[in-house]
Structure 1
């Protein structure tokens, strides 16, 4: 064997396993002339990858092992290489590196990570490579087996990313001969994410602790400076400040503090790190949070400095008024033509669609057409259940449901027929021929074709004539006037579940008695014939102040900590294990981008998102609801099932309660974790029965408790639109 290629299969390179393997198989050195040792450390392999590994293991020149230890003397190759499946390179790389080894008789040769070293730069001395940075030191190498034995010894070595990087660096600290082949390039297709940053910081810590101190003081000092520079590079990234948790950032700052003890101020000043002195001072004083804010400010200052210089240079070259410039005058006809062509195109399209609508309407025998929708990717709320009722009971009615083509709920609607894909030509056409718009939210909020603004500008006159109906997203238990007030959305009809809710709509949203119909909500028809499981549903709503923040800030929030602590609470976990209770954790749609951060490994807890769950079914099958301010609490009350409202942040949420239906009418209110766990325990020990006071409240708050809500809605719409 010419070369033994050792590679670690890990979570960090599993997605590039197949492409990395192809790189090796296509080497012109000949795959059969290479020994491949795959150390399998990956747990999340696909079935295809498992099969591929099994097939590989059958080859005479391949060994797949789960043991992380490796004995160098057992490797069959003359030369050894540590390969990463994230690498991408020329098929001639190993052949060319072998040629260099044979020609120069050195201990090792190193390839050049693309963009690391210029092609015309010759690195002949170890200190030159060290001075070129971490990427240069840890580059892909071809190592003489005898030299590796000298470095690693004859005992088994425990393989890890950190150890391989340390080995690569230590080769430059020992009197080994080498050839840095700067014209032999390879790429690294890693994903720059939280995992990469955390792993890199861990590697830096490991290398600093195990670097070969027997080398010259100058070389060791230079290595530490390069590691510090690489660490600072990682800290000075959005990925670090915005995506890492407080604990992960604290770990990185600990590593930085250790480095600052190893590196002199003189070295910092002479290696372009002087600009980070305030950061280093904060870290030394353990002001970690302030250090993170400083990095953000430093990056912002750098950005605007660069932008200012960019525009300053531009205006130095172009000091005159832009509209007076020759280029502006010369391009004016082109701009006017472009604007005119867009206007003409829009005019023709408008005429085409209006003409098509004028032809299409008579073809439907001028029958009333209703369009129904929810969020464009959703079919699980009042819109869907009303549409389902219409299709099953009035199949001849012209009722259509608007949903996006890639919605996880599409299959449910397709079974019923009359589907219109969101923003399609049919959607635009039926917006013009339909008489009535019906939505669980408001139609213009969720069900207008994209681009919405352009469509309104073109057909605003036609849209204003439509009869609009809001079926409601849930029972109104908050003052939602900023979202649904008549002055803003001007619905012709709003559906409510009770006289209590009707008063809320009239008092807070500005609608008249005739514009609000008490029918019961459409989805309540589905809250009967229950098959309830021994199951707790945790379903908190969203927070406005957390809506657009980054991951790091979210992980510092009381919201995250409250629910993460709950699902990690030992007493809570002991209870669900002892009573064999399953827990479904489903946060609000607008917060689901952070769901991965909540996940804990526990056989009784399942974490769900909108693509893997149907909310209506979760509500029906669960025995207990833990929420905070969500209106789904009213669904649970409707079914006479217990609700616990965990309101740990009453002064830091955007939900303003109303007097007609109060939180205390819906369920138990708790404000801390211990109180929550004890309340849940009491309900569990009471066989999940709701207290009598809430059963009475349910009878008082809901006018109807039957399966005729959709029918009443249908009749009132028919009456209003006839």
Structure 2
């Protein structure tokens, strides 16, 4: 009697039992199958009498195999399956959710005269056989059923299960519709499916759900499954949105359970606590606490006002507070601050920065003074200063404590200040309602040209006199330090951040289209050849949130260099580079200002976390390409023009930039003259 053992190697398996079965001389041939399930199709079976498909997490005894063989020979049964149930109480051969693990259990199958074709389909054909089937009692000896490895195993097997069976078969082998749906929910309602399973495996699973269950309307019925939205999105081929819906569902469920737990601990919550005697008796203490807090703010404000009056009496220079992001010094605000401290002796300026931003503080401290965000000095100089200048909004970067509360307490004082947003970049994205006059305390906002000014007035709600045409302060740095195109050898490749990718596991990130497209580009022989022939170096600068993945993009090509925002100044890289390749970054505007070429490699135009502006388009700034071949053609066009700005973008340069030099001085002069 010759027996072939097909032994599944699993992540969460009982290793001792696996080795015991693998090396057991009882079997005439042992085939070990990992997650490459197609591997078993290469083996001939005609010389064997029985095939045992074995899951090493099910305890199997040799005498059970012998007994099963005898019963099959005596034609009492056709197939033997190992079961975790009490085999004396099995009334039918259908599955329930409670015994779903048996869908992936061990089965003993007699061979046919011509030999069984080994495949996962053959395995599941016997698993789903529900007529003349016998059972052997077993125990589950695998590891923890809640760990990641187990869930990965189950998902792998489920994919093969879906591939091998029709919807009618799957419905037929379960006792109820509820059991089948509950299993489907179980397979994906966990963090493992979202965070640990590779993207290609996720897509394969969801595609199979769509193909196999597209006529199974029960899955989109709310009363049948809480994941109805997930299935509905899959059936409409919105796979990424389906994954997002899973996260939202689990978050909602988490807070529901917290609510239930608190309700249980508090017990009866139906009464109105405010009407209770205890609440009424303690109300005066709560009122006192609130009044004390308000009184402290008022006392602090009164103290600050006294000190500020003394300071103003002694020091008559106007005070300007300047800020950008709380932990950075690299944007328009930084360059304006630097210029003021070097050239404007009649203005005293302070840079607001987070106490822990050591690198930024070192930069600022070389030529000016900074104030720690939220400090007593910060609160004091908010009263002393006449102008608040920021690359963003004061709500984000300058108010020393809760913006809503601060604006309420200091409303009268704020009305006496001039709040100027000198912007982070040109409006090539639809930033409404961000920076809108309605939503933020901004008195004036800067623009690069009359053209951009009209966009700001139309979309953000500012009056004509509230939009100041100054240009961007950081562009003076480019005028002074921009390397001539003929002398520059660096090509800056600066892909932007994309929403959702920063939360992926490393394994999932490596399966993302974002990673694959970057790797494809820096590995392409034609791109590398272009760099070598033209004596160029591709400087890859990832977004700070994605720098942790740079090690997976390493290249042994000397013409490709990976940079870090911790070690290089972005402003320097912009000035030194010959041209730019990006996807959606607004840094493209800085290249156009230098009359340097931009190539937008937008392999997926929907990947941007911004909505493009309808007035200033990417196509006004540089070439847009959607695939690698088009990218190569764009590079050739840049080369054919001797790397100088392609003629069709010169009009954009003239239209979008009115102030092309002495931008910081012009900005200062305009602010000085504001009423």
Does residue 621 of structure 2 align to residue 719 of structure 1? no
The aligned residue for residue 424 of structure 1 is: 375
Supply the distance in 1 between the matched residues of 2:20 and 2:246 (Cα, whole angstroms). 32
For the aligned residue pairs, the C-alpha RMSD in angstroms reads: 4.7
User: Do the aligned partners of 1:279 and 1:295 also contact (CA within 8 Å) in 2?
Assistant: no
The verdict on how the C-alpha distance between 1:330 and 1:518 changes in structure 2, with shifts beyond 3 A counting, is closer
Q: Is the 8 A contact 2:13 2:143 kept in 1?
A: no
Pick from 375, 380, 391 the counterpart of residue 341 of structure 2: 391
2:142 equivalent in structure 1: 226
Query: CA contact under 8 A between 1:400 and 1:419: conserved in structure 2?
Result: yes
1:373 aligned partner? 323
Query: Matched residue of 2:428: which SS?
Result: coil
- Listed as ranges, the matches of 1:532-571 within 5 Å are 533-541=488-496, 546=499, 550-551=503-504, 562-563=517-518, 565-569=520-524, 571=526
The structural deviation recorded for 1:658 is 4.2
Q: Which residue in 1 is equivalent to 2:397?
A: 446
Q: What is the match of residue 482 of structure 2? A: 530
CA deviation profile, 1:461-508 (whole Å, cap 9, x unmatched) = 211210122222223334434222333336433333333323333343
Deviation at 1:601, TM superposition (A): 1.5
Partner deviation per Cα, 1:558-608 (whole Å, 9 max, x = no partner): 66665555445454345446656433334556xx25862794111444555
Give the corresponding residue for 2:169: none
| Separation in structure 2 between the aligned mates of residue 457 and residue 599 of structure 1, nearest angstrom | 49
Matches within 5 A, 1:134-153: none
Q: 2:183 aligns with which of 263, 271, 277?
A: 277
In the other structure, the counterpart of 1:669 is 624
The answer to whether the 8 A contact 2:350-2:370 is kept is yes
The 2-side partners of 1:436 and 1:642 are apart by: 37
- 1:379 aligns to what SS in structure 2? coil
Distance change (3 Å), C-alpha of 1:443 and 1:331: closer
CA distance in 2, matches of 1:607, 1:434: 42
Q: Measured at CA, do residues 396 and 644 of structure 1 come closer, stay the same or move farther in structure 2, by a change above 3 Å?
A: same
**Shift in Å, 1:635:** 1.3
TM-score (norm 1): 0.59
Compute the displacement of 1:411 (Å): 1.4
Mapping of 1:449-468 within 5 angstroms? 449-468=400-419
SS in 2 for 1:486: coil
Find 1:254's aligned residue among 147, 156, 171: 156
- Number of matched pairs: 505
**CA distance in 1 between partners of 2:20 and 2:291 (Å):** 66
Change (3 A) 1:333 1:667: same
Partner deviation per Cα, 1:592-643 (whole Å, 9 max, x = no partner): 2586279411144455554344221121111121234433222111212111
Q: Deviations over 1:170-223 (max 9, x none)?
A: 79999xxxxxxxxxxxxxxxxxxxxxxxxxx99xxxxx9888999777999878
Q: Deviations over 1:137-188 (max 9, x none)?
A: xxxxxxxxxxxxxxxxxxxxxxxxx9999767779999xxxxxxxxxxxxxx
Q: Show the counterpart of 1:520.
A: 471
Q: Which runs of 5+ in 1 are unaligned?
A: 1-161, 175-200, 203-207, 236-248, 262-267
- Specify the SS of the correspondent of 1:428: helix
Structure 1 Cα separation of the partners of residues 509 and 405 of structure 2? 35
- Shift in Å at residue 327 of structure 1? 4.8
Q: Bigger shift: 283-292 or 497-506?
A: 283-292
Contact persistence 2:58–2:140 (CA under 8 A):
no
- For residue 149 of structure 1, what is the aligned residue in structure 2? none
Which runs of no fewer than 5 residues in structure 2 stay unpaired?
1-9, 23-34, 37-53, 65-81, 85-104, 107-137, 165-173, 189-204, 211-229, 235-241
Per-residue deviation, 1:368: 1.1
1:627 matched residue in structure 2: 582
- C-alpha contact (below 8 Å) 1:504/1:658 kept by paired residues: no
What does residue 126 of structure 2 align with?
none
In structure 1, distance between residues paired with 2:494 and 2:435 = 23
User: 2:490–2:576: 8 Å Cα contact kept in structure 1?
Assistant: yes
> What CA distance in whole angstroms lies between the structure 2 residues aligned with 1:164 and 1:233?
5
Contact 2:57-2:140 within 8 A present in 1 as well = no
With over 3 angstroms needed to count, the CA separation of the structure-2 counterparts of 1:571 and 1:227, relative to structure 1, is: farther
C-alpha distance in 2 between matches for 1:317 and 1:300 = 26
Secondary structure of the residue aligned to 1:669 is: strand
Which residue number corresponds to residue 354 of structure 2?
404
Residue 470 and residue 212 in structure 1: after superposition, are their counterparts in 2 closer, same or farther (change >3 A)?
closer
Show the 5 A alignment for 1:184-333: 226-227=142-143, 229-231=145-147, 235=151, 253-254=155-156, 277-279=183-185, 286-287=208-209, 299=250, 303=254, 306-307=257-258, 309-310=260-261, 313-314=264-265, 317=268, 319-325=270-276, 327-329=278-280, 331-333=282-284
Any conservation in 1 of the 2:599–2:624 contact (CA below 8 Å)?
A: yes
Contact 2:494 2:542 in 1 (8 A): yes
Give distance in 2, aligned partners of 1:389 and 1:432.
Answer: 24
* Cα gap change, 1:309 to 1:396, in 2 (>3 Å): closer
**Structure 1 residue 672 displacement after superposition:** 3.1
Cα deviation per residue 1:118-149 (whole Å; 9 max; x = unaligned)? Answer: xxxxxxxxxxxxxxxxxxxxxxxxxxxxxxxx
What is the CA–CA distance in structure 2 between the aligned matches of 1:378 and 1:709, rounded to whole Å? 21
Distance 2:55 2:445 in 1: 68
CA positional deviation for 1:719: 2.2
Shift of 1:431: 0.7
Aligned counterpart, 1:475: 426
2:58–2:139 Cα contact (<8 Å) kept: no
Asked if the contact 1:587–1:595 (Cα under 8 Å) also holds between the matched residues in 2, the reply is: no
The equivalent of 2:553 in structure 1 is 600
CA distance in 2, matches of 1:685, 1:526: 29
1:257/1:284 contact within 8 Å kept: no
Q: What SS does the aligned partner of 1:310 have?
A: helix
Q: Distance in 1 between matches of 2:256 and 2:650?
A: 64
Q: 1:35-76, CA deviations, whole angstroms, 9 ceiling, x for partnerless residues? A: xxxxxxxxxxxxxxxxxxxxxxxxxxxxxxxxxxxxxxxxxx
Q: How does 1:164-203 map to 2 (within 5 A)?
A: none
- Distance in 2, matches of 1:478 and 1:304, equals 35
C-alpha contact (below 8 Å) 1:619/1:636 kept by paired residues: yes
Secondary structure of 2:673's counterpart equals helix
Range with bigger deviation, 220-229 or 383-392: 220-229
In 2, Cα distance between the equivalents of 1:712 and 1:350?
35
User: Is 1:644 the equivalent of 2:611?
Assistant: no
**Following superposition of structure 1 onto structure 2, how do residues 578-597 of structure 1 map, counting pairs within 5 Å?**
579=534, 581-587=536-542, 592=545, 596=549
Matched, 1:434 2:385: yes
Report if the CA contact (8 A) 2:14-2:142 is conserved. Answer: no
Aligned pair in 2 of structure 1 residues 349, 557: CA closer, same or farther (>3 Å)? farther
Are residues 626 and 259 of structure 1, via their aligned partners in 2, closer, same or farther at CA, if it must alter by over 3 Å?
Answer: same
User: Against the structure 1 CA distance between its residues 557 and 440, is the aligned structure 2 distance closer, same or farther, given a 3 Å change threshold?
Assistant: same
Q: What is the aligned partner in structure 1 of residue 664 from structure 2?
A: 710
Deviation of residue 356 (structure 1)? Answer: 2.4
Deviates more, 1:288-297 or 1:322-331: 288-297
Aligned counterpart in structure 1 of residue 613 of structure 2, from 657, 664, 673: 657
Contact 1:599 1:607 in 2 (8 A): no
